[in-house]
Amino acid sequence: MTELSGPLGPLLCLREVAVTYRGRDGEAVQAVRGASISVHAGEIVGLVGESGCGKSSLGRAAVGLEGLSAGSVTFKGQPVPTLGRGTRPVAFRPLQALFQNPYSSLNPRRKVGHQLADGLRASGEAKTGARISALLAMVSMPASAADRYPHEFSGGQRQRLAIARVLAARPSVLVADEPVSALDASAQAAIVTLLRELREQTGIGILFISHDLGVVRQIAQRVAVMYLGKIVESGPIGAVWGEPRHPYTSALIAAAPVADGAGRLPLGLAGEVPNPSAPPPGCSFHPRCPIAEVRCRAVDPPSLAVGGGQEARCLFACDGTSMSQGSREPTVARGGNYEQLP
Amino acid sequence: MLELNGLSIMRRDRHGWVSLVDEVNLSLGRGEVLGVCGESGSGKTLSALAVLGLLPAGMKTKGSIIYQGEELLGASRRRLRAVRGREISVVWQDPSTSLHPLLSVGTQLTEHLRYHLGLGKTAAKRRAIELLESVRVPDPQSALRGRPHEFSGGLRQRIALAIALACEPKILLADEPTTALDVTVQAEILRLLRELVDERQLSVVLISHDLGVVSSLADRVQVMYAGRVVECGPRARVIGAPRHPYTRALLSALPGSSAAGSGIQAIPGTPPLPGHLPAGCAFSPRCGFAVASCSSERPALAPVDEAVVIACPVDPFAASVTK
């Protein structure tokens, strides 16, 4: 992704990040293999992929919960330290994380108000009742919620409380890993609306990690699609959704069932996700790709810019016609010598 | 094939009996896929458990469950054991919990065949391989020796499906069969289910909170709210042109279905808890179309035409649908 530096540059910037886990028998499993993504102020960036693609590892690396084996993560230009036993440097408190399961991110034995006060105290703020009520109001919960325990709330309400807890730190960037996946459709819609409003009101930047491209389309301005540890396509959500340039993105879109009553079956994708400890040579997607050619087995495609900020790691990204039903010409066709921007 | 008449399920708590499922009617024809949808806690899964005679202890039932003319509610344990797995079988949401983690796939498949069909060892094994082939598990020979954890989620669900189909049941209850799966895998499983329905004239009750999933597979759709049926009819009608305000609201909360990037709308409030149902229509406190009588009179399911029934006397979308 093209990035600026200075005050207009991204708040959170991940460059060529690699995360490696050691398997039981000592083999290295590369969960993330050189992924770059950035989040600017007031921007929601979606990170989409199926289970095991490395999106959560990348999200954890973004907040310092996972060590890097290569690349860098910076927040406001400073490298994000990997969390150890010590306290987190004050400079990184505005970088916060939100997880899928609000049942496990709230303490079941303490009142909501106390837990919000913890967050305020940790960020050096006075834990006044007014401030706690204000936090609850930001997530559309009544002030009376402060005197209750997490189990007294529904899943959607609990996720609101977890968001209020995060907001206590006055974050400028939030890394949200599947924050709506455990919720019913209506509660999902409510949380998505809430995050969108928070972005508009506070100018927070959000890295929104989800397996559901449909949800991401509702919330994000930009999106990155991940497959087997690499970002295979990225760009403005409208362009990526409307005219995907990577066959995997197309497959994700075609596989989502549509609730229109027409009874159309979604399109599947043959095969299985390969073992990340032994990724296929060449393009990682070629064994399942409907348009793969012989050279796809040999060449790992670089990220090709197709114009309008959209990029795809596919040798055919600039052919335009092959991926989507539409057949518009690509606006810019750049050759294979694409470089990661500094 | 299967008919539920006025099925009610109650649970005992401190204050007495609490109704979880309230007078649910359902009918399932041969080779038909009936989608049952609603939010969590709407009673979808409990109804399925009741059909299988698997309700947890301490629950009381009323009404009737008729399978091919035979009453299953209150049937003997022995009879239920014979029906379960043989005539009516089930696939659950999470294949990693419905499969035994320590037994090989082969053991779990052949056990079933030998118990219900009385097959010998070799015959059961041969049949097991056929079954795995029919759900397209690659290399069935060696898959039989594997244990569930060696397979991906999608393959595990295929194996669970093979077990469910082992005795060629007439009815398959599929409770959120694709919810735990990735979207591309989900699509493959939905296509597989459709093939099985078409090939074997299998009847399926597809329970899912995902209206997209229901829309792509079901022939008829039944929407539940707080333990009651609020709308039922052909898929094209219920999902394509919903009549009940709750169905409408559920659809507009879906991210995938709205065309633009800002169309989703949450339903205000939260679903009521069992035992704390509002008087009248249970959806009335969250409904934008409620009138005074909604909070006092419990609406009965009534036909709006020959195909669709709804439990809403206000019927605010009558005009928009009949045009």
Q: Is residue A10 part of a domain?
A: no
Check residues B271 and A166 and name the one with the higher pLDDT.
Answer: A166
Angle between helices A247-255 and B183-200 (to 10 degrees): 50
Residue A250: which H helix or E strand, with range? helix A247-255
Give the single-character DSSP code of A178. S
Higher pLDDT, B212 or A3: B212
Identify which has the larger pLDDT, B39 or A164: A164
* Backbone φ, ψ for residue A259 (5° rounding): -85, 75
- Helix (H) / strand (E) containing B66: strand B59-67
What pLDDT was estimated at residue A329?
Answer: 32
Nearest to A92 by CA among A5, A170, A206: A170
With beta carbons less than 8 A apart as the criterion, state whether B89 and B177 touch: no
In a domain, A52, yes or no: no
Query: Which one of B184, B249, B257 has the shortest CB-CB distance to A255?
Result: B184
Per-residue pLDDT of chain B (323 residues; tens, 9 = 90+): 899 999 999 998 888 888 999 999 999 999 999 999 988 888 888 999 999 988 988 899 999 999 999 999 989 999 999 999 899 999 988 887 789 999 999 999 998 899 889 999 999 999 999 999 988 888 899 999 999 988 888 889 999 999 999 999 999 999 999 988 889 889 999 999 999 999 999 999 999 989 999 999 999 999 999 999 999 999 999 999 999 999 999 998 888 655 544 578 888 888 888 888 899 999 999 999 999 999 999 999 999 999 999 999 999 998 775 54
Is residue B122 within 8 A of residue B106, CB to CB? The reply is no
CA distance B202 to B163: 15
pLDDT at B256: 64
Predicted local distance difference test score (pLDDT) of residue A98 = 94
Separation between Cα atoms, residue A49 and residue B49, nearest integer Å: 34
**Average pLDDT, stretch A303-328?**
76
Distance from chain centroid for Cα A293: 30
- The whole-number pLDDT of residue B94 equals 82
Residue A25: Cβ within 10 Å count: 6
How far, in whole angstroms, is CA A172 from its chain's centroid?
A: 16
For residue A335, pLDDT over 60 is answered with no
Grouping H, G, I as helix, E, B as strand and the rest as coil, residue B57 is coil
B39 touches chain A (CB under 8 A): yes
In angstroms, rounded to a whole number, what is the distance separating the alpha carbons of residues B279 and A149? 27
Q: B33 vs chain A: nearest CA distance in angstroms?
A: 11
Residue B300 buriedness (CB in 10 A; 0-12 / 13-18 / 19+): exposed
Residue A157 lies in a domain: yes
**Cβ atoms within 10 Å, residue A252:** 28
Residue A79: C-alpha distances to residues A38, A42, A138, B153 (Å): 14, 21, 30, 37
What's the domain count of chain A?
1
d(CA B97, CA A57): 25
Buried b (16+ CB within 10 A) or exposed e, A166-175: bbbbebbbbb
| Residue A108 falls inside a structural domain | yes
| CA distance to A309, B19, B24, B214, B277, per residue, from B228 (Å) | 49, 10, 6, 18, 11
Entry pTM:
0.87
- Contact A15/A9 with Cβ under 8 angstroms? no
Nearest-neighbour CA in chain A from B321: distance (Å): 14
Domain assignment of residue A134, given as a range: 104-170
Chain B: nearest CA to A265, how far in angstroms?
A: 5
Q: For A205-243, write each residue's pLDDT tens digit.
A: 999 999 999 999 999 999 999 999 999 999 999 999 999
- pLDDT of amino acid B130: 92
Contacts of A142 in chain B (CB under 8 A): none
Nearest CA in chain A to B250: A186
DSSP class of residue A168?
T
For residue A234, is it within any domain?
Answer: no
Contacts of A94 by beta carbon, 8 Å cutoff, 6+ apart: A75, A169, A170, A171, A172, A173
CA-CA distances (angstroms) from residue A9 to A74, A95, A224? 11, 16, 18
- Please indicate, yes or no, if residue A48 is contained in any of the structural domains: no
Interface of B with A in 151-210 (CB under 8 A): 152-155, 182-188, 190-191, 194, 209-210
Helix crossing, A129-138 with A112-122: angle to 10°? Answer: 100
Decide: B33 and B202 in contact? Cβ < 8 Å. no
Residue A117 included in any domain: yes
Query: Minimal Cα–Cα distance from A261 to chain B, Å?
Result: 4
Q: Is residue A128 part of a domain?
A: yes
- pLDDT average, residue stretch A157-166: 93
Determine whether the interchain pair A51/B267 forms a contact, defined as Cβ–Cβ distance below 8 Å. no
Strand B203-207 relative to strand B220-225: parallel, antiparallel, unpaired?
unpaired
- Nearest chain B residue (CA) to A270: B188
- Amino acid symbol at B208: S
Q: How far is A337 from chain B (nearest CA, A)?
A: 32
Q: Chain A 279-338, CB below 8 Å of chain B: which residues?
A: none
**With 70 as the cut, is the pLDDT of residue A323 above it?**
no
Q: Are B117 and B76 in contact (CB under 8 A)?
A: no
Q: In chain A, what residues touch B216 (CB-CB under 8 Å)?
A: 257-258, 263-266
**Contact flag B256-A259 (C-beta cutoff 8 Å):** yes
Q: CB distance A259–B239 less than 8 Å?
A: yes
- Closest by CA position to A176, among listed A20, A34, A54, A60: A60
Type of residue at A271: G
- ipTM of the complex as predicted: 0.85
For residue B39, give the chain A residue with the closest CA.
A184
Assess contact for A212 and A229: CB atoms under 8 A: no
Distance, CA of A87 to CA of A83 (rounded, Å)? 8
What SS3 state is found at B318?
helix
What is the rounded distance in angstroms from the CA atom of residue A110 to the CA atom of residue A121?
A: 16
